[in-house]
Structure 1
Amino acid sequence: MLDFTWKVFSETGSIDTYLLYKELEKKSHSSPEDQEEELAEIDFPVM
C-alpha cells in the first residue's frame, strides 16, 4: 500500500496523497505497544 500511495503522489503531486502516505508510513512503523501508549495518553494526558 505504501508503494502504491507513493507512486500516485509522485505522478500527481497531490498533497493529500502525500499526507496519506506519511500517515500510513507512521502506522506501519509503530508497534502494538506504541499504539497502546498513544491511546493511554489520549485517555489520561500527562501534564
Structure 2
Amino acid sequence: MKDFTWKVFYQTGNIDTYLLFKEMEKEHADGPDMLDEERSSPDFPVM
C-alpha cells in the first residue's frame, strides 16, 4: 500500500497523498502488527 501511495504522489505531486504516505511510513516503523489498543495500553512504553 505504501508503494501505491508513493507512486500516486510521484505522478501527481499531491501533498495530501505525500502526507498519507508519511503517516503510513511512521505507523509501519512503530510496529506494523500492533493494534491501536495495544499501542494505547498502559504497558506499552511511552517514547
Give the TM-score normalised by the residue count of structure 1.
0.66
Counterpart residue number, 1:43: none
RMSD: 1.8
Counterpart residue number, 1:3: 3
Provide the identity percentage. Answer: 56
Query: What code does the residue aligned with 1:26 have?
Result: K
Secondary structure class of the residue paired with 1:21:
helix
| Cα distance, 1:7 vs structure 2 | 0.0
Query: What code does the residue aligned with 1:22 have?
Result: K
Q: Which runs of 5+ in 1 are unaligned?
A: 41-47
Q: Distance in 1 between matches of 2:28 and 2:4?
A: 14
Q: Which runs of 5+ in 2 are unaligned?
A: 42-47
Query: What code does the residue aligned with 2:22 have?
Result: K
Query: What code does the residue aligned with 2:14 have?
Result: S
Q: Distance in 1 between matches of 2:15 and 2:23?
A: 12
Give the TM-score normalised by the residue count of structure 2.
0.66
- Greater C-alpha radius of gyration: 1
